[in-house]
């Protein structure tokens, strides 16, 4: 199958930051074979094309990597808008996640993947940590598969409940806890059935946080990840209280403890990292680990401002994530770009602190590097996967456009995405998912929430 995309405003997000005002992209069998300015398009390409997409008036950019989310939280968005992380977990997450069935996880993941694709992410790092039933993770993978998005399931696990029991004495945490035997057997089963499947689906190891995992569990997960060359995905120093918990428990700061557990290396994705100090950032840089920045969630839960500018100065790789939709409350990947820019501008009182290209780089290549898939995805370059997003720039809130990269970061939102290709296959067309009936999916999710809403609201104290 050959596809020609012509006349788009191409933002390559490659090392030389190439941008072509009037461009062509030639795709064969899911790969980018050629691209450049329209004036240099080889003769005869149009005649060879099986399909031609006219991208006049549209930006063409690489598919973004949403490097941290929890898809099941599509079922829990907007339950409470007024809590910090620690109480939000108690009120909104633990009690309500325990209500969800395997079928709910499938439905919630499908909805979440539709949302991600439609807002420009072609790859999602899904941190699924609710292991209340054995098939939950498979259902999440099946949700991704159904929509056509690529993704990594970072399989979350916990074996320690003292912090949750202290704040929720009347709640039974046990459904969330796993024996090491079950956790490793499940990781192995999922690795064999999903990791690398179709060059689209991957598995990562994900101790949820160090304060929910014993040292033995952390060491075991680190060894397992090393043995199978899997990424490690872990919530890190998200809030000041959680950083203090780690210091109270282990008499060292969180990044040093993660390092002591063997969890810090080039394949590690440290999510949030809001309360990492200079010494921790230097350690993370020395270990060549990756940061995942979730600005909207950090603002929503009032967690703080992650030291992203310092991290970039130290040469750290930074990816962007929405975080779960119960603390965002959307997963609009284009909106995340603007939030990132504006948060750091105002925090540093410096309008020039991050350029649009730096932000696009984090959203695309940053995520690709964090997944160790930067040879395959993250930029528009010859030989890479044809994972592309076409964004309509001819709208009243965007036009007239002077600089496409600025428009993408500061004007566009998910509703402006027209077309999405994954491995050259069109999965979003005219702003609608090709493989999923969105209206039906939304109706199914709403109907299920009508059954659960009274209990969820009661649990959340609203």
Kindly state the smallest distance separating residue 97's Cβ from Zn ion, in Å. Answer: 12
Q: Based on CB atoms, which residue is closest to Zn ion, 151 or 356?
A: 151
3-state secondary structure of 407: helix
- What is the Cα–Cα distance from 418 to 420, expressed in whole angstroms? 7
Kindly state the smallest distance separating residue 389's Cβ from Zn ion, in Å. Answer: 24
Kindly state the smallest distance separating residue 236's Cβ from Zn ion, in Å. Answer: 10
- What is the Cα–Cα distance from 428 to 389, expressed in whole angstroms? 9
Kindly state the smallest distance separating residue 324's Cβ from Zn ion, in Å. Answer: 6
Classify burial at 397, counting beta carbons within 10 Å of its beta carbon; exposed 0-12, middle 13-18, buried 19 or more. Answer: exposed
Kindly state the smallest distance separating residue 327's Cβ from Zn ion, in Å. Answer: 7
Q: Based on CB atoms, which residue is closest to Zn ion, 6 or 323?
A: 323
Please give the residue whose beta carbon sits closest to Zn ion in the complex. 323
Do 5 and 390 contact (CB within 8 A), yes or no? Answer: yes
Helices (H) and strands (E) in the chain, counts: 18, 17
Segment 320-339, which members bind Zn ion (CB under 5 A)?
Answer: 323
Kindly state the smallest distance separating residue 235's Cβ from Zn ion, in Å. Answer: 6
Do 398 and 43 contact (CB within 8 A), yes or no? Answer: no
Indicate the DSSP class of residue 71: G
- What is the Cα–Cα distance from 421 to 388, expressed in whole angstroms? 5
Q: Which residues pair with 317 in a beta bridge?
A: 290
- What is the Cα–Cα distance from 394 to 399, expressed in whole angstroms? 6
Q: Based on CB atoms, which residue is closest to Zn ion, 35 or 258?
A: 258
- What is the Cα–Cα distance from 395 to 416, expressed in whole angstroms? 8
Kindly state the smallest distance separating residue 248's Cβ from Zn ion, in Å. Answer: 22
Q: Based on CB atoms, which residue is closest to Zn ion, 66 or 147?
A: 66
- What is the Cα–Cα distance from 51 to 382, expressed in whole angstroms? 19
- Of 381, 375, 306, 395, the C-alpha closest to 347 is 306
The separation between CA 404 and the C-alpha centre of its own chain, rounded to angstroms, equals: 23
Kindly state the smallest distance separating residue 363's Cβ from Zn ion, in Å. Answer: 17
Q: Based on CB atoms, which residue is closest to Zn ion, 91 or 384?
A: 91
| Helix or strand holding residue 410 (H, E) | helix 404-410
Q: Based on CB atoms, which residue is closest to Zn ion, 159 or 238?
A: 238
CA angle 47, 51, 55 (to 5 degrees): 105
Q: Based on CB atoms, which residue is closest to Zn ion, 4 or 270?
A: 270
Q: Based on CB atoms, which residue is closest to Zn ion, 67 or 380?
A: 67
- What is the Cα–Cα distance from 441 to 298, expressed in whole angstroms? 29
Segment 376-405, which members bind Zn ion (CB under 5 A)?
Answer: none
Q: Based on CB atoms, which residue is closest to Zn ion, 53 or 318?
A: 318
What tokens were used for 8?
A: 């788009």
Size of site (CB under 5 A) for Zn ion: 1
Site string for Zn ion, 287-326 (x = CB under 5 A): ------------------------------------x---
Site string for Zn ion, 95-134 (x = CB under 5 A): ----------------------------------------
Contacts of 125 (CB under 8 A, 6+ apart): 65, 66, 67, 68, 69, 151, 152, 154, 204, 233, 269, 292, 321, 367, 370, 371
Kindly state the smallest distance separating residue 28's Cβ from Zn ion, in Å. Answer: 38
Q: Based on CB atoms, which residue is closest to Zn ion, 14 or 66?
A: 66
Burial code (b: 16+ CB inside 10 Å, e: under 16) for 259-295 equals: bebbbbeebbbbbbbbbbeeebbebbbebebbbbbbb
Kindly state the smallest distance separating residue 298's Cβ from Zn ion, in Å. Answer: 11
Per CB under 5 A, residues contacting Zn ion are 323
């Amino acid at each position: 199958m050959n596809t020609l995309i012509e006349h788009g405003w191409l933002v390559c997000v490659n090392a030389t930051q190439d941008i072509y005002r009037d461009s062509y992209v030639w795709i064969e069998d899911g790969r980018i074979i050629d691209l450049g300015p329209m004036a240099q398009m080889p003769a005869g390409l149009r005649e060879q094309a099986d399909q031609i997409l006219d991208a006049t008036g549209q930006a063409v950019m690489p598919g973004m990597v949403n490097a941290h989310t929890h898809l099941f939280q599509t079922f829990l968005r907007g339950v409470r808008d007024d809590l910090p992380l620690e109480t939000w977990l108690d009120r909104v997450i633990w009690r309500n996640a325990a209500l969800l069935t395997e079928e709910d996880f499938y439905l919630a993941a499908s909805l979440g993947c539709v949302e991600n694709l439609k807002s420009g992410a072609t790859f999602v790092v899904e941190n699924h940590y609710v292991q209340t039933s054995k098939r939950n993770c498979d259902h999440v993978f099946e949700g991704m598969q159904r929509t056509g998005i690529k993704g990594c399931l970072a399989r979350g696990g916990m074996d320690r409940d003292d912090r949750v029991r202290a704040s929720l004495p009347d709640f039974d945490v046990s459904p969330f806890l796993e024996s090491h035997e079950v956790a490793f057997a499940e990781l192995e089963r999922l690795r064999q059935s999903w990791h690398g499947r179709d060059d689209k689906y991957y598995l990562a190891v994900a101790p949820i946080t160090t304060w929910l995992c014993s040292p033995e569990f952390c060491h075991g997960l680190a060894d397992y990840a090393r043995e199978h060359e899997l990424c490690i995905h872990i919530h890190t120093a998200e809030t000041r209280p959680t950083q203090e918990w780690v210091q109270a428990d282990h008499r060292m700061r969180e990044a040093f403890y993660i390092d002591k557990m063997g969890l810090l290396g080039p394949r590690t994705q440290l999510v949030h990292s809001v309360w990492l100090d200079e010494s921790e950032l230097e350690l993370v840089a020395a270990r060549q680990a990756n940061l995942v920045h979730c600005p909207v969630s950090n603002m929503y839960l009032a967690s703080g401002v992650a030291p992203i500018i310092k991290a970039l100065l130290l040469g750290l790789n930074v990816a962007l994530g929405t975080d779960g939709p119960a603390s965002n409350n959307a997963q609009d990947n284009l909106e995340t770009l603007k939030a990132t820019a504006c948060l750091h501008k105002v925090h540093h009182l410096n309008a020039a602190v991050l350029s649009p290209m730096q932000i696009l780089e984090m959203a695309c290549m940053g995520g690709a590097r964090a997944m160790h898939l930067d040879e395959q995805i993250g930029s528009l370059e010859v030989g890479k996967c044809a994972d592309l997003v076409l964004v309509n720039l001819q709208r009243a809130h965007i036009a007239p456009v002077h600089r496409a990269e600025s428009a993408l970061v500061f004007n566009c939102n998910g509703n402006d995405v027209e077309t999405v290709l994954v491995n050259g296959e069109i999965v979003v067309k005219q702003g609608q998912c090709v493989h999923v009936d969105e209206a039906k999916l939304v109706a199914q999710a709403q109907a299920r929430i009508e059954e659960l809403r009274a209990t969820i609201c009661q649990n959340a104290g609203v």
